[in-house]
Amino acid sequence: MAAVKPRRAAAPSVPLRILTAVPICDGHDSAVITINIELARHGLEVIYLGYHQSATAITRAAIQEDANVVGLSSYNGGHIVFFKAVADQLKRAGSGDIPVFGGGGGTITKADERLMKRQGTHRIFFAGTPFEDMMALIKKDYARALKPNAKFKGDRALARAITIVEAGGKAPAIKRTGKAKAFVVGVAGPGGAGKSTLIDELTSRFLQKTPKGRIAILANDPSHPDSGGAILGDRVSAIYAQDDRVFFRSLATRGSLSGVSAAAPAAIKVLQQSGEFDLILVESVGVGQESDPFGSFARKQRLVEAVLFVLAPHYGGRIQLQKIALLNGADLVALNKCDHPMAHTAKTEIQSRLDQNGKDQVLYPTTAAKHFDPGVDALFDAIQALAAKKS
């Protein structure tokens, strides 16, 4: 099979989206992290999947993210077989238009490159390639026209619709393929509170308790105000996104100062119109004390049906709690990382702060780093109760 030849297009007005990952049985991530930073510095949006990733996981992520290209960093010597597996799976999934490139220091030889290109890999970058040359080639070769494609089905069709609304276009008509009515929950909190890990554990509970349903996650990360690039890294924590019943899409804020992408409302609508999802979780960027990313205090209809606010025990004391606006407006409040020594005091202080609101708000203590945490069980049950009530 010949290497995929990406269609040349005029430079897009929006950042290129590149999915990077390290293959299974390979824990060498220092090189790919350096490349990720350089890509973002040059204005690209980098969806980082992490290391020790299977070909199936990489293919699923590339499809759901509607990536321009997949970049693999391989140092374990299995590159000839692995790169081919990713290219083959993309083609079988109807997404052979997503090319694959990569590098591996001194582990990939020129002879390997010739064979890999015949098997479907588009390009190999060898050690010593200047960053500027690498970035220029990526921008030139992997640009594409952002338009609907009638050949796309399933998750790729949803992903392309979200790509179009991210670029400011009108979403194409979404074929309703299911009968589900999604309950939409916004998840906010300061950076480092463990939102992504908590969302992953909630995803696990959903998969256990809803055997035939699907869940969607829209994870927002900040764009760099200088370059316009972004490191979209929430998939690193998304262990349960490996399940086909999970649709995971990373969004960059692209200048939006609300805490979520300006395209988030349209992206939610795309997912709702498909009828495939019972639950949609929308994760904001790490927010500040005055933030209201989902319009909890808006006079008009807010962006989501319920807001979950997540704190960690190291918030800085009771005076800081008094300043956090979303403690007044959240439907659910979780104190995560409750294995921390400060958690006992934090529980008392936060619950006292919630009691002052007079809204019967309940604090849910969680330790999302533990897979079978009863606090996460209770929080998920509360989300289900809200969904049942609002339906």
pLDDT tens digits along 357-384: 999 999 999 999 999 999 999 999 999 9
Quick one: which of 83, 73, 80, 31 has its CA closest to 52? 73
pLDDT tens digits along 274-305: 999 999 999 999 998 888 999 988 767 889 99
pLDDT tens digits along 197-211: 999 999 999 999 999
313 and 385 in a single domain? The answer is: yes
Domain count, the chain: 2
Per-residue confidence (pLDDT) for residue 231, from 0 to 100: 97
For residue 223 the two structure tokens come to 């764009």
Long-range CB pairs of 88-92 (<8 Å, 24+ gap) are: 88/1, 88/120, 89/55, 89/56, 89/59, 90/59, 90/62, 90/63, 91/1, 91/120
Domain boundary among 90, 119, 141: 141
**Average model confidence (pLDDT) across the chain:** 93
245 and 101 in a single domain? The answer is: no
Its pTM stands at 0.94
Say if 164 falls within a structural domain: no
Range of the domain at 130: 17-141
CATH of the domain at 341: 3.40.50.300
Instruction: Give percent above pLDDT 90 in the chain.
Output: 87
301 and 184 in a single domain? The answer is: yes
92 and 203 in a single domain? The answer is: no
291 and 349 in a single domain? The answer is: yes
Whether 48 shows a pLDDT value over 80: the answer reads yes
pLDDT-based confidence at residue 4 (cuts at 50, 70, 90): low
Domain boundary among 141, 163, 184: 141
Whether 171 shows a pLDDT value over 90: the answer reads no
Distance of alpha carbon 361 from its chain centroid, rounded? 29
223 and 347 in a single domain? The answer is: yes
pLDDT tens digits along 261-275: 999 999 999 999 999
What value does the mean pLDDT take over residues 174-201? 95
60 and 133 in a single domain? The answer is: yes
Element (H, E) at 248: strand 246-252
- Write the CA distances from 200 to 42, 116, 140, 242, integer angstroms: 30, 35, 36, 11
